[in-house]
Structure 1
Amino acid sequence: MSRSIATVKPGLQTCVQELPGREGFLEQGFPLSGPFDAWSFRQANLLVGNDRDAAALECQFVGPTLTFEADMLIAVTGGDMSPELDGEPVPMFTTLAVKAGQTLALSFARKGARSYVAVSGGIATEPVMGSRAVFHQAGVGGRALVRGQSLPVGDSTASELFTIPEAARPEIALDRCWVIEALAGPNDDWLSDKTVDAFFSSDWTLQAKSSRTGLRLTGPEFQFSEKALNKSPDHGQDPSNIVDHGYPMGAVNLAGQTPIILVNDSPSTGGFINPFTVASAAFWKLAQAKPDEVLRFRRIDRAGAAALRAEIDTKTRREVLERA
């Protein structure tokens, strides 16, 4: 019997993702992609005995319905989409042993915005440019799932059942205000000192017009420094314009008066300033934030960002697993 998964209902842009993503192709216009919430993604893989970076499914806002065509282990982590197996509720952040013919159904995201489904052996789609990660908008590595699609699954001998203790799980609450760790730079000197301070002390609302390419924010108006107001013509007309340069992942890209956080499927270069950069360890919060929720930015430095990343790394290791 083939190890595969049948897509009964695709959900909303359910995609195969893999870490570290599609490395080495930024200069050709291909983003890294990969899972938006790497913390939940890695924990799902650990629960089913995979390498923590193996290919798995990312589900956003509305999850899929999947039928398993062989016995395997599965796990659902991340945002709460009320998973059910053959119509019965099942726990999240816990290994589930499924039999051939059983069906997993995920619903609307009750808490958070994105869930992750891992299966023992990993999703075994064909790599494209070295990765199985899907860049849906361009169809690189495939596209979002469609009804009737079959997903191949790799071989696995995993059989043990585990759970992730509450203290090691991402804290995803209902209608929360998210505190997002961010660093000043690289272009914070193009803003007035007052505006830099205001960025870290204001409420920012996540717009519905957001995606894995960028998260648009609504908040206070930006004021610019003399450097932006009295620049050479080659930098462009608007104060937020600058000679084309590289964009770091997580950059808060300022297009006029609209800040856009550049995330997994974002462009890597352009002609707008990036006054702030979200720490990579805070990406999981961006992934789980819903439109109209509030973001508040907490200023940290590089050492603080490294410490946050190390803390999450300790919670995505096999040592954190408890037997179910």
Structure 2
Amino acid sequence: MIRILKAGLETSIQDYPGRLGYWNQGFPPSGPMDSWSFRMANVLVGNAPGAAALECQFLGPSLEFGSDTVIAVTGADMRPAIDDEPIPLWHSIAVKAGQTLALSAARTGARAYIAFAGGFANPEMLGSRSTFNKAGVGGIDGHSVKAGQDLPVLDGRGTPGLAVPGGLRPDIRTDKAWDIEVCAGPNDDWIDVAGQERFLTSPWTLSAKSDRTGFRLDGPRWTFAEKATNKPKEHGSLPSNIIDHGYPMGAINLAGQTPIILVNDGPSMGGFINPYTVPSAAFWKLGQAKPGETFHFKLVSVAQAQDLAVRIARRCVAGNLVKA
């Protein structure tokens, strides 16, 4: 068991790739925002890359170990410490029963990941252990962890003293500006040429009104193509309205003049256009961005986005680890 002493800010159990195949019934994939850091944490402790682990958002938790185990902390720098002694990120660490792990506020990045040898043993719901807070599904009792809870862990045997080489880790920025890949579509033709150029050349600021459902962006006004302003009535009155259709994960959903990136707990469909889509390989950047930081969007093809995803997956394997 892992006992939660302090919960942190919406610390939750997630697994990868999350809850697939139920979006049409209202259950999004959930899973980790930064799946690169998440998978690396699991690989470090000898788990499968997708095993259930903790996602810690902005402010980390404090935990007490019920037995000897091996852990790893990756992602945002929340200054992890065991019994008040700092430990390195991106390393596998042996811990003893009764010791405590404490994470504080994120110094760089936004989300840290804690993996434990064996992974969590909370019940699977709809094929996943991931937490979907808004529906009370997965995790422990359907919600983020709470102080006083005991989290069950499966048997596992990790190897301490391993590390992820620097070149295989995501480059979690400290300059508060992010270059985010996007693919055009599915509704890019509803935006005029000037509006498309403006989107790709302007800075966009991540709003504090953001969560695991959607990342709201502040930036310049959008301008629309003829098909958005001269359309059948069933599409709605605003240029950004369209007859209800499916949303891809990562869609930049345009609600009036406000773009919202639909992330892990986002809706599956609705009546707004989606001019661009952030591919899964760029989600780690979204997961490590804080409100007030700036996004610059870079257009890539679907083939380029798929290649990025393959390259990340090839890094998240045990054969890439080195002795610390």
Shared fold (TM-score, shorter chain, > 0.5): yes
Q: How far does the alpha carbon of each residue in 1:217-242 deviate from its partner, in whole angstroms, 9 at most, with x for none?
A: 00110001100000000001111000
DSSP-derived class of the 1:253 partner: strand
| Residues 1:292 and 2:292 are matched in the alignment | yes
DSSP-derived class of the 1:261 partner: strand
In structure 2, the partner of 1:140 is 137
Residue correspondence of structure 1 range 256-267 to structure 2 within 5 A:
256-267=256-267
Larger displacement relative to structure 2 (285-294 or 137-146): 137-146
Residue correspondence of structure 1 range 180-195 to structure 2 within 5 A:
180-195=180-195
AA partner of residue 283 (structure 1): F
Distance in 2 between residues matched to 1:203 and 1:33, nearest whole Å: 28
In structure 2, the partner of 1:203 is 203
Paired residues of 2:215 and 2:260 also in contact (CA < 8 A): yes
Per the TM alignment, residue 247 of structure 1 is displaced from its structure 2 partner at its CA by 0.1
Unmatched segments (≥5 aa) in structure 1: none
In structure 1, the partner of 2:43 is 46
In structure 1, the partner of 2:28 is 31
In structure 2, the partner of 1:56 is 53
DSSP-derived class of the 1:200 partner: helix
In structure 1, the partner of 2:73 is 76
Per the TM alignment, residue 174 of structure 1 is displaced from its structure 2 partner at its CA by 1.8
Distance in 1 between residues matched to 2:233 and 2:159, nearest whole Å: 64
Distance in 2 between residues matched to 1:68 and 1:59, nearest whole Å: 17
| Residues 1:20 and 2:12 are matched in the alignment | no
Per the TM alignment, residue 312 of structure 1 is displaced from its structure 2 partner at its CA by 1.0
Paired residues of 1:78 and 1:115 also in contact (CA < 8 A): yes
DSSP-derived class of the 2:39 partner: helix
Distance in 2 between residues matched to 1:77 and 1:44, nearest whole Å: 6
In structure 2, the partner of 1:171 is 171
Which one of the candidate residues 122, 126, 143 is aligned to 1:125? 122
Q: How far does the alpha carbon of each residue in 1:241-290 deviate from its partner, in whole angstroms, 9 at most, with x for none?
A: 00000000000000000000000000010000000001110000000000
Q: How far does the alpha carbon of each residue in 1:54-103 deviate from its partner, in whole angstroms, 9 at most, with x for none?
A: 00000000000000000000000000000010001100000000000000
From the superposition, tell whether residues 160 and 65 of structure 1 become closer, same or farther in structure 2 (CA, over 3 Å).
closer
Larger displacement relative to structure 2 (111-120 or 307-316): 307-316
Per the TM alignment, residue 160 of structure 1 is displaced from its structure 2 partner at its CA by 4.4
Paired residues of 1:47 and 1:161 also in contact (CA < 8 A): no
AA partner of residue 191 (structure 1): I
Q: How far does the alpha carbon of each residue in 1:192-213 deviate from its partner, in whole angstroms, 9 at most, with x for none?
A: 1111111111100000000110
In structure 2, the partner of 1:255 is 255
| Residues 1:107 and 2:104 are matched in the alignment | yes
| Residues 1:219 and 2:216 are matched in the alignment | no
Distance in 2 between residues matched to 1:158 and 1:281, nearest whole Å: 27
Residue correspondence of structure 1 range 144-155 to structure 2 within 5 A:
144-155=144-155
What is the number of equivalent residue pairs in this alignment? 321
Paired residues of 1:77 and 1:117 also in contact (CA < 8 A): yes
Per the TM alignment, residue 176 of structure 1 is displaced from its structure 2 partner at its CA by 2.3
Per the normalisation by structure 2, the TM-score is 0.98
Paired residues of 2:10 and 2:145 also in contact (CA < 8 A): yes
AA partner of residue 65 (structure 1): S
Distance in 2 between residues matched to 1:307 and 1:54, nearest whole Å: 24
Distance in 2 between residues matched to 1:179 and 1:157, nearest whole Å: 38
AA partner of residue 194 (structure 2): K
In structure 2, the partner of 1:318 is 318
Q: How far does the alpha carbon of each residue in 1:285-322 deviate from its partner, in whole angstroms, 9 at most, with x for none?
A: 00000000000000000111112112211211112100
Per the TM alignment, residue 157 of structure 1 is displaced from its structure 2 partner at its CA by 2.7
In structure 2, the partner of 1:270 is 270
Larger displacement relative to structure 2 (169-178 or 192-201): 169-178
DSSP-derived class of the 2:307 partner: helix
Stretches (4+) displaced over 3 A: none
AA partner of residue 15 (structure 1): S
Unmatched segments (≥5 aa) in structure 2: none
Which one of the candidate residues 80, 91, 95 is aligned to 1:94? 91
AA partner of residue 294 (structure 1): T
AA partner of residue 144 (structure 2): A
AA partner of residue 244 (structure 1): D
AA partner of residue 7 (structure 2): P
Q: Percent identity?
A: 56
